[in-house]
């Protein structure tokens, strides 16, 4: 068994975490050696407890590895170990860094210039809008956007980066043979095609609750700073913020409505010393003033195809589209502005949605 396969196998043994793996490697020299030992050998050396010695010795190594490698090939995943040159440098420096990383897609070359955007799964329209717009602008400035592909803010952050044709990395709390949440299957594929979806968990690991706090240290570890957009008092986003502080990363908090439950966690961070930010420029100026100057001056955002100039719409569709922006607008307002009957406007809106030029929100609201 080669060393990378041995690390893959040791990573899957229940109870053996990254710290234990490193301890075993320091004691025995290699994962291959560890897996070759009997339960009595491991117990006699007292490198691990008797319970862990039994777990390692009794683990079905060959069966697991054969199945795992087949799944890795089937899903087009590659595996990085902390020995590999391609392993992210920003992760090497954090406590409890993952020994193994499963990667679907390709880690961006500018991974050292990354920022995390996290927040509530039950995000408001305001929160989703901020996460999407800011992620797009940061991606245009050259940042890789890191998040967890959860519902709400995470999804908005990844989507914003992709719309700007930027890079984004999703860190999952399950194995890469599972898409979680399932409604993000399309987003999973889009992220993998222009960035990477990564996990430290074996391919078939389900999305169990205890995995998510653990994966949050990777989100913050990959990033120069963490932007928190909406978080309740017990939100997982606050765990990411705590990891960021432990890792010496910056924490940025986007203020929200004072009477909103998803603002309480963010406002708590601000009280504790997190940096209040009200625009992307606040973040760029804090990270590096030079980045702000480039963003405002010489950096040209990726070219976006103009749906009007490209001929993607007829004259009626152009008229309706012209009254829709990145701020939600109600259908009644559109009918009034267009000066035509409701059925015609509704039909045009449906066509624009099918062309993925606009999006309908709850309450008959529309945005680009």
Per-residue pLDDT tens digits for 122-132: 999 999 999 99
Query: What pLDDT, on the 0 to 100 scale, is given for residue 305?
Result: 53
Q: How confident is the model at residue 307 (pLDDT cuts 50, 70, 90)?
A: low
Does residue 90 register a pLDDT over 80? yes
Query: What pLDDT, on the 0 to 100 scale, is given for residue 302?
Result: 44
Query: What pLDDT, on the 0 to 100 scale, is given for residue 325?
Result: 83
Is there a single domain that holds both residue 120 and residue 3? Answer: no
Is there a single domain that holds both residue 148 and residue 255? Answer: yes
Q: Is residue 84 part of a domain?
A: no
Max CA distance (Å), the chain: 85
Q: In this structure, what CATH number is given to the domain that contains residue 359? A: 1.10.10.10
Per-residue pLDDT tens digits for 257-306: 888 899 999 999 999 999 999 999 999 888 865 455 555 553 444 444 56
Residue ending a domain, choose from 262, 296, 330: 296
Residue ending a domain, choose from 233, 264, 296: 296
Is there a single domain that holds both residue 139 and residue 251? Answer: yes
Looking at the DSSP bridge assignments, the partners of residue 77 are 104
Q: How confident is the model at residue 116 (pLDDT cuts 50, 70, 90)?
A: very high
What does R_g of the chain's alpha carbons equal in angstroms? 23
Q: Is residue 94 part of a domain?
A: no
Q: Into how many domains does the chain fold? A: 3
Which residue has better confidence, 317 or 203? 203
Q: In this structure, what CATH number is given to the domain that contains residue 35? A: 1.10.150
Q: Would you call the peptide bond into 181 cis, given omega within 30 degrees of 0 as the criterion?
A: yes
Q: How many CA atoms lie within 13 A of 238 on its CB side?
A: 16
Is there a single domain that holds both residue 124 and residue 227? Answer: yes
pTM of the predicted model, to two decimals?
0.79
Q: Is residue 86 part of a domain?
A: no
Is there a single domain that holds both residue 22 and residue 118? Answer: no
Mean pLDDT, residues 72-83:
96
Which residue from 203, 148, 155, 189 is spatially nearest to 172, judged by alpha carbons? 148
Q: Is residue 216 part of a domain?
A: yes
Q: How confident is the model at residue 367 (pLDDT cuts 50, 70, 90)?
A: confident
Enclosing domain of residue 343 = 315-367
Is there a single domain that holds both residue 32 and residue 163? Answer: no
Q: In this structure, what CATH number is given to the domain that contains residue 195? A: 3.40.50.450
Q: Is residue 268 part of a domain?
A: yes
Q: How confident is the model at residue 352 (pLDDT cuts 50, 70, 90)?
A: confident
Q: Is residue 305 part of a domain?
A: no
Q: Is residue 92 part of a domain?
A: no
Backbone phi and psi for residue 132, each to the nearest 5 degrees, phi listed first? -70, -45
Query: What pLDDT, on the 0 to 100 scale, is given for residue 301?
Result: 43
Percentage of residues of the chain with pLDDT beyond 70: 93
Give the separation between CA 275 and CA 269, rounded to whole angstroms.
8
Is there a single domain that holds both residue 141 and residue 259? Answer: yes
Q: Is residue 82 part of a domain?
A: no
Is there a single domain that holds both residue 114 and residue 20? Answer: no
Alpha helices in 82-124 (DSSP H): 89-92
Is there a single domain that holds both residue 5 and residue 153? Answer: no
Which residue has better confidence, 354 or 167? 167
Query: What pLDDT, on the 0 to 100 scale, is given for residue 297?
Result: 52
Is there a single domain that holds both residue 151 and residue 192? Answer: yes
- CB distance 115 to 228 below 8 Å: no
Is there a single domain that holds both residue 270 and residue 348? Answer: no
Is there a single domain that holds both residue 279 and residue 321? Answer: no
Residue ending a domain, choose from 296, 329, 351: 296
Query: What pLDDT, on the 0 to 100 scale, is given for residue 351?
Result: 85
Does residue 327 register a pLDDT over 80? no
């Amino acid at each position: 068994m080669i060393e990378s396969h041995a690390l893959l196998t040791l990573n899957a043994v229940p109870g053996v975490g990254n710290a234990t793996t490193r301890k075993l490697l320091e004691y025995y020299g290699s994962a291959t050696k560890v897996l070759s030992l009997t339960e009595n050998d491991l117990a006699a050396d007292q490198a691990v407890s008797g319970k862990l010695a039994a777990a390692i010795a009794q683990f079905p190594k060959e069966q697991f590895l054969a199945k795992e490698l087949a799944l890795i090939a089937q899903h087009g995943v590659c595996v990085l170990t902390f020995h590999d040159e391609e392993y992210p440098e920003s992760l090497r420096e954090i406590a409890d860094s993952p020994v193994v990383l499963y990667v679907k897609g390709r880690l961006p070359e500018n991974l050292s210039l990354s920022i995390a955007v996290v927040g509530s799964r039950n995000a408001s329209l305001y929160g989703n809008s901020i996460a999407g717009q800011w992620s797009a602008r940061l991606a245009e400035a050259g940042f890789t956007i890191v998040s967890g592909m959860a519902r709400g803010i995470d999804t908005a952050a990844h989507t914003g980066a992709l719309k700007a044709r930027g890079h984004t990395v999703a860190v999952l709390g399950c194995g890469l043979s599972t898409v979680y949440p399932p409604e993000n299957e399309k987003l999973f594929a889009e992220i993998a095609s222009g960035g990477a979806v990564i996990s430290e968990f074996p391919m078939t690991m389900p999305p169990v609750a205890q995995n998510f706090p653990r994966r949050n240290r990777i989100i913050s570890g990959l990033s120069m700073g963490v932007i928190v957009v909406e978080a309740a008092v017990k939100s997982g986003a606050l765990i990411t913020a705590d990891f960021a502080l432990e890792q010496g990363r910056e924490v940025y908090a986007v203020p929200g409505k004072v009477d909103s439950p998803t603002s309480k966690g963010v406002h708590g961070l601000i009280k504790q010393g997190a940096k209040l930010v009200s625009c992307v420029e606040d973040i760029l100026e804090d990270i590096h003033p030079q980045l702000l100057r480039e963003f405002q001056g010489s950096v040209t955002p990726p070219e976006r195809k103009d749906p009007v100039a490209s001929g993607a719409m007829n004259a009626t569709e152009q008229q309706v589209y012209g009254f829709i922006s990145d701020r939600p607008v109600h259908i009644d307002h559109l009918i009034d502005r267009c000066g035509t009957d409701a059925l015609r406007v509704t039909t045009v809106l449906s066509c624009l949605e099918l062309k993925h030029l606009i999006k309908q929100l709850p309450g008959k609201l529309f945005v680009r």
